[in-house]
Chains A and B, each alone.
Chain A
Amino acid sequence: MTLNADLSRRIYTDMWRIRLFEEEALRQTSLGTVKGTLHTYCGEEAIAVAICAHLRDDDYVLGTHRSHGHCLAKGAPMDRMMAELFGRATGSCRAKGGSMHIADFSRNILGANGIVAGGIGPGTGTALASRIRKSDQVSVVFFGDGAAARGPFHEGLLFGSLWKLPVIYVCENNGYQQWVPRKNVAVVDSVADMAASYAIPGVSVDGQDLEAVYEAAGEAVDRARRGEGPTLIEARTYRFYGHSLGDMEEYRSREEVDDWRENRDPIKLFSAWMKERQWLGDDEDEAIRAGAAAEVAKSVAYAEESPLPDPEDVLTDVLDTEWRVSA
């Protein structure tokens, strides 16, 4: 599937939906309506939307602590996601998960994950399930560059390669492992180079360049669906806000952030790319942005109108208590 005008507009719309959802969520934290912490995806939008554009509804996606973008790109309803951040009973996880555990199993979004590299083993396991069932579903695991330091990254890639499982490992390398520049704590510059140790293709792309991510993802998804095994994609990117709420950002300069926002914003870049091809006019551009803003406003209204969780629900969902064994 090549990028055409229609698909590009859909992808571009999703980028705005993510950007404005995140900015609204941040604003709501300052109002005190959204509690807990937030890890926003602003600046990294091209990656989730370009990858998910290749996926079917029944393909699996597993995420990170910074997964609102993955969920929206894979089709999770925005109103229920906002309700989850508001801690409402109508939330994606009925107010039991919050931002870091947001999930929508009806769309095979198996969840954000608060443990760095936590999704890599399970995402390789969903691919193993596809193998056993002889299904052509693929699995995509998103993780940050910090995850490449952890054991489960290495063990997951080993299993994925050993059994040629249909999984795509997507490393969103935003250059910082919370507050520490990657270069201070890593010995290999490119995470993609680590693929060589596991005899799988490793591709490093500019994560701000939607077309580049889209093409790399297309090859990786096709390869996985054909049964030829995993690919490790490193998308070099940048987060526009701090690691999470309350980040003083003493580890990076204002100039660096401004430069990325000004010159390397994936939304601006993709808008210009589409306009060069006459695929997007200024009015349309504004309409897409306004449409996304309206959807975000609706999601806030939905969250505000939704009931708070019943305190009695605290004890449910630990185990399936309805289940009874029978011979």
Chain B
Amino acid sequence: MRTIALRDALREALHEEMDRDDSVFVIGEDVIAHGGPYTVTQGIVDKWPDRIFETPIAEAGIVGLGVGAALAGMRPVVEIMYVDFITCAMDEVVNQAAKMRYMTGGQASVPIVIRLPCGPARLVAAQHSQIMESWFMHVPGLQVVAPSTPYDAKGLMKTAIRSPDPVAFFEYKALYVSEGEVPEDDYVIPFGKADIKRDGEDVTVVAIGGMVPRALEAGIALEDEGYDIEVVDPRTLAPLDMETICESVRRTGRAVVCEMDSSFAGTGAEIAAALAEQCFHDLRAPIVRVGSPHVPMPFAEELVNVTVPDSAAVCGAVRKVMA
């Protein structure tokens, strides 16, 4: 099978879905010029010039228009240049998109995909490096997706576009150029299905988004120490496939939960709490969380390196639950 980068897989998903369904359109800042900073929307203007809208720098307007178009039966794919900027449109995401189906007693459908490039990359500091998945998980009515491989990115993007409800689609900027095998044909990945990225017997390592490659690196490093870890990638955080995660933990008896974002009140906290509720008697050691300390993202590399967890942090957590 051919190998392509994650950003190419996303672009391919967009092109395929735009080809398949006339109601899909793209809206965002710089999405025509260069196909956006990450080139994900490249080529669309050539094929569908009436279905791509390059906007002023007005995130509340961009998402607000997307919500309205979705209410009218369109399927907007919105690009927010950095997830940090979505804070300028939180009313549109939380009060409008997410609550609309419920508030109207099921009359409204808001099939909007909000693409949220996230995470540290290129030392752009606190206002261009956040992750924020747990903010969105906490809002009823939103679906939260965080792919870690090109294969998952394409299949999940296609599912997101076909979904009748809003999707916050997290794209780890550091993974855009990471490569992997991606089929050329049409395939979708259902929401709420975790993927076991590495089989193992000793410890279940739940890794989210950008932490998946780091957990896999840790898996290789730990082989020398005789630890065989299983890496579970939830792929979608809402809905969250606790069944697969619990099934793995029941086998291994040990759990490490890894996220790149701040651990405090984060995604890992939800997973760890659910594990404690559902698998307490299967656990042979306390659950360990891996994540950033509760600080904004710093600028200097020396500071970033001690903020963002790396594979060594995952190794440390595994040793702790094995001790």
User: Distance (Å) between the CB of A246 and the closest chain B CB?
Assistant: 23
B54-69 interface bits toward A, Cβ cutoff 8 Å, 1 = contact, 0 = none: 0110101101111111
**CB of B76 to closest CB in A, whole Å:** 8
Q: Kindly list chain A residues whose C-beta atoms are within 8 Å of the C-beta of B164.
A: 320, 323
Q: Which of A103, A128, A327 makes the CB contact (< 8 A) with B68? A: A128
Is B73 on the interface with A (CB-CB < 8 A)? Answer: yes
Which residues on B sit within 8 Å (CB–CB) of A196? none
Does B198 belong to the interface (CB within 8 Å)? Answer: no
Contact with B along A289-327 (1 / 0, CB 8 A): 000000000000000000000000000111110011111
Q: Hey, which chain A residues are within 8 Å of B66, CB to CB?
A: 125
The B-contacting residues of A in range 141-171, CB under 8 angstroms, are 151-152, 155-156, 158-159, 162-163
Tell me the count of chain B residues lying within 8 A, CB to CB, of chain A: 49
A67 at the interface (CB under 8 A from B): no
Is the CB–CB distance between B96 and A122 below 8 Å? Answer: yes
**Interfacial chain B residues near A111, Cβ < 8 Å:** 100, 103-104, 108
Whether A132 pairs with B188 at a CB distance below 8 angstroms is no
Interface flags for B28-69 (1: CB within 8 Å of A; 0: not) read 000000000000000000000011010110101101111111
Question: Nearest-CB distance from A62 to chain B (Å)?
Answer: 8
**Does A325 lie within 8 Å of B190, measured CB to CB?**
yes
Q: Which residues of A contact B50 (CB under 8 A)?
A: 132
Task: Mark contacts of A98-141 with chain B using CB atoms, 8 A cut-off: 1 yes-contact digit, 0 otherwise.
Answer: 00010111100011011100101111111111101100000100
Q: For the complex, give the distance between the alpha carbons of A60 and B72 in Å.
A: 9
Asked whether, in the complex, the Cβ of A91 is within 8 Å of the Cβ of B67, the reply is no
B141 → chain A closest CB, angstroms: 6
User: Quick check: B103 and A96 within 8 Å, CB to CB?
Assistant: yes
Interface residues of B in 55-113 (CB under 8 A from A): 55-56, 58, 60-61, 63-74, 76, 91-92, 95-96, 100-109
Neighbour of B69 across the interface among A92, A95, A129, A158, CB < 8 A: A129
Contacts of B53 on A, CB cut-off 8 Å?
Answer: 128, 163
Of the candidates A97, A101, A129, the one whose C-beta lies within 8 Å of that of B72 is: A129
Partner among B72, B92, B96, B105 whose Cβ is within 8 Å of the Cβ of A317: B105
Is B187 engaged at the interface, CB distance under 8 Å to the other chain? yes
The answer on a CB contact under 8 Å between A155 and B104 is: no
Residue of A91, A103, A113 with highest tally of chain B CB at under 10 A = A103
Is A93 an interface residue when CB atoms closer than 8 A count as contact?
yes
The verdict on B148 contacting chain A, using a C-beta distance below 8 Å, is no
Which residues of chain A come closer than 8 Å to B140, judged between CB atoms? 318
Determine if B141 and A318 form an interchain contact, defined as CB atoms under 8 angstroms apart: yes
Asked whether A320 lies within 8 Å of B165 as measured between CB atoms, the reply is: yes
Chain B residues within 8 Å of A162, by CB? 56
In the bound complex, CA of A123 to CA of B66 (Å)? 10
B190's nearest neighbour on chain A, judged by CB, is A325
Measured CA separation A95–B105 after assembly (Å):
7
Given the known A-B contacts A132-B25, A325-B190, A326-B188, are A317 and B69 also in contact in the complex, defined by CB atoms under 8 Å? no
User: Known contacts A122-B68, A122-B71, A323-B163; is A155 also within 8 Å of B58 by CB?
Assistant: yes
Q: Which of A101, A114, A122, A319 contacts B64 (CB 8 A)?
A: A122
Please tell me if A182 contacts chain B, counting CB pairs below 8 Å.
Answer: no
Determine if B223 is an interface residue (Cβ-Cβ < 8 Å).
no
B28 to chain A minimum Cβ distance, whole angstroms, is: 13
A35 within 8 A of partner (CB): no
Residues B60 and A121 in contact, CB atoms below 8 Å apart? yes
Closest residue on chain B to residue A114 by CB atoms: B95
Question: Can you list 28 A-B pairs with a CB-CB distance of less than 8 A?
Answer: A60-B72, A91-B105, A96-B104, A101-B103, A101-B104, A105-B104, A105-B108, A110-B71, A115-B96, A121-B61, A121-B63, A121-B67, A122-B68, A122-B71, A124-B65, A125-B70, A132-B50, A132-B51, A158-B61, A316-B106, A317-B101, A317-B102, A318-B140, A320-B164, A323-B163, A323-B164, A325-B191, A326-B188
Interface residues of B (CB under 8 A from A): 25, 50-51, 53, 55-56, 58, 60-61, 63-74, 76, 91-92, 95-96, 100-109, 140-141, 143, 159, 162-165, 186-188, 190-191
New A-B pairs, 4, CB < 8 Å, besides A92-B105, A125-B76: A121-B64, A128-B53, A132-B25, A155-B58
